[in-house]
């Protein structure tokens, strides 16, 4: 009997379909339908009799759930195992299911922090900061970069899984995955720190003090030279005195005082409060609604 082999075209078909893994996500067996859907091109190629095809379909409708991207190396390994089996190697059903279950847990633990909590926040923040100025490059950059990274990852890790086969379990236990997760969480925390500083905005409006400044500490608007000469003189004084030079009275707000400690100080406190509340199992949705309420109350009583 001639050996059946999965060609690159077959593997690409599987890779394409694998993108729809979560489509039939259900509370019973989670991603099983999408997994089976992705395996169909390979099953068609490897098995010719109706009984074998039916058995293979049923085998791949078992419970499955992991992160949708790191699932790619798992499906690669499974392709290799199915290929061996179709060529007569004694690969049991339980071995295939065992590889799937054994890999999905640890890999999901890498996929979530790397993709959802590091790469997406970084690319999203990059695109969003451009988009907030109305720049179309922002959304395009996010969309293109994300999909290039994602597709490259899906294809190359699937190929890696297919080539390494069941040996992959050894590679996984090596330190590489741990290292990737560690780098991702360091980078993620660093970027989240800067995002909190830049994009969580709280500003308190109460005025702490109003001081009438000494002569010379403000621009004497009434006695400026006429015409362009006056503008020049005002600008010169402004650059020497800073923003407090614009008015006779120097107004200090609560926010100004807080910003002197470090800009964004209250934003960090708010973020840490949210962390605590989330840890106490308060739903993020409840916190979000409360923050809107606080904002409205704050504006109504004029302290925010």
Partner 1 sequence: MGGISIVLVIIVAFLAGMEGILDEFQFHQPLVACTLIGIVTGHPTEGIILGGSLQMIALGWANVGAAVAPDAALASVASAIIMVKGLGPGTDVQTAISTSIALAVPLSVAGLFLTMLCRTIAIPMVHFMDAAAEKGNFRGVELWQILAICLQGVRIAIPAAMLCMVPADAVTSMLQAMPEWLAGGMAVGGGMVAAVGYAMVINMMATAEVWPFFVLGFVLACIGDLTLIALGAIGVSLALIYVGLKEVAKQGGGSGGGSGDPLGDILNDY
Contacts to partner 1 from residues 193-232, by CB under 8 A:
193-203
Residues between 132 and 161 that touch partner 1 (CB under 8 A):
132-136, 138-139, 142-143, 146-147, 150
Q: At its nearest, how many Å lie between partner 1 and the CB of residue 301?
A: 9
The residue within the footprint of partner 1, chosen from 4, 148, 152, 189 (CB under 8 A), is 189
Measured CA to CA, the distance from residue 175 to residue 159 in angstroms comes to 21
User: Does the protein bind partner 1 through residue 128 (CB under 8 A)?
Assistant: yes
Complex with partner 1: residue 235 or 297, whichever CB lies closer: 297
CB 94 within 8 A of CB 105: no
**Residue bearing tokens 């293109």:** 144
Q: Tell me the per-residue interface mask from 36 to 65 with partner 1, x by CB under 8 A, - otherwise.
A: xx--x--xx-----xx-xx--xx--x----
Q: At its nearest, how many Å lie between partner 1 and the CB of residue 117?
A: 5
3-state class (DSSP) for residue 38: helix
Q: At its nearest, how many Å lie between partner 1 and the CB of residue 217?
A: 26
CB atoms within 10 A of CB 53: 15
CB 97 within 8 A of CB 36: no
Residues between 264 and 293 that touch partner 1 (CB under 8 A):
264, 267-268, 270-272, 274-275, 277-279, 281, 283-285, 287-289, 291-293
Q: Which among 73-81, 210-218, 243-251, 258-266 is the span making contact with partner 1, rule CB under 8 A?
A: 258-266
Complex with partner 1: residue 150 or 250, whichever CB lies closer: 150
The residue within the footprint of partner 1, chosen from 12, 101, 131, 248 (CB under 8 A), is 131
The residue within the footprint of partner 1, chosen from 2, 3, 8, 26 (CB under 8 A), is 26
List Cβ neighbours of 288 (8 Å cut-off, separation of 6 or more).
none
The angle formed by the CA atoms of residues 27, 30 and 32, to the nearest 5 degrees, is: 140
The residue within the footprint of partner 1, chosen from 102, 106, 165, 298 (CB under 8 A), is 298
Q: At its nearest, how many Å lie between partner 1 and the CB of residue 137?
A: 10
The angle formed by the CA atoms of residues 204, 205 and 207, to the nearest 5 degrees, is: 120
| Total residues at interface with partner 1 (CB under 8 A) | 108
Q: How many helices (H) does the chain have, and how many strands (E)?
A: 13, 2
List Cβ neighbours of 127 (8 Å cut-off, separation of 6 or more).
138, 139, 141, 142, 143
Q: Strand pairing partners for 64?
A: 30
- Cα dihedral 295→296→300→301 (10° resolution): -40
User: Does the protein bind partner 1 through residue 24 (CB under 8 A)?
Assistant: yes
Joined together, the tokens standing for residue 233 give: 């003189």
Complex with partner 1: residue 62 or 233, whichever CB lies closer: 62
Q: At its nearest, how many Å lie between partner 1 and the CB of residue 210?
A: 23
């Amino acid at each position: 009997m001639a050996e059946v082999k999965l060609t690159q075209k077959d593997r690409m078909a599987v890779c394409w379909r694998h993108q729809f893994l979560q489509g039939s996500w259900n509370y019973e067996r989670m991603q099983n339908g999408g997994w089976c859907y992705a395996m169909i091109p390979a099953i068609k190629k490897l098995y010719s009799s109706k009984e074998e095809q039916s058995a293979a379909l049923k085998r791949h409708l078992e419970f499955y759930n992991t992160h949708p991207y790191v699932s790619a190396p798992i499906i690669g390994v499974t392709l290799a195992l199915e290929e061996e089996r179709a060529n007569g190697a004694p690969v049991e059903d339980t071995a295939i299911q065992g590889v799937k279950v054994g890999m999905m847990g640890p890999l999901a633990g890498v996929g979530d922090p790397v993709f959802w909590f590091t790469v997406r926040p970084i690319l999203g923040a990059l695109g969003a900061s451009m988009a907030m100025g109305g720049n179309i490059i922002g959304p395009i950059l996010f969309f293109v970069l994300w999909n290039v990274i994602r597709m490259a990852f899906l294809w190359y890790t699937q190929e890696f899984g297919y080539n390494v086969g069941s040996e992959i379990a050894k590679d996984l236990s090596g330190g590489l995955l741990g290292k990737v997760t560690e780098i991702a969480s360091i980078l993620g925390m660093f970027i989240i720190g800067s995002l909190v500083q830049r994009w969580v905005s709280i500003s308190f409006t109460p005025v702490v003090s109003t001081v009438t400044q000494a002569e010379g500490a403000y621009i004497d608007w009434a006695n400026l030279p006429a015409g362009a000469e006056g503008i020049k003189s005002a600008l010169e004084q402004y650059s020497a005195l800073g923003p407090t030079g614009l008015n006779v009275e120097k107004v200090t707000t609560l926010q100004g005082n807080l910003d002197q400690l470090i800009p964004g100080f209250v934003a960090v406190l708010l973020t840490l409060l949210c962390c605590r509340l989330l840890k106490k199992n308060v739903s993020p949705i409840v916190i979000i609604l409360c923050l809107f309420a606080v904002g409205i109350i704050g504006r109504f009583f004029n302290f925010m």
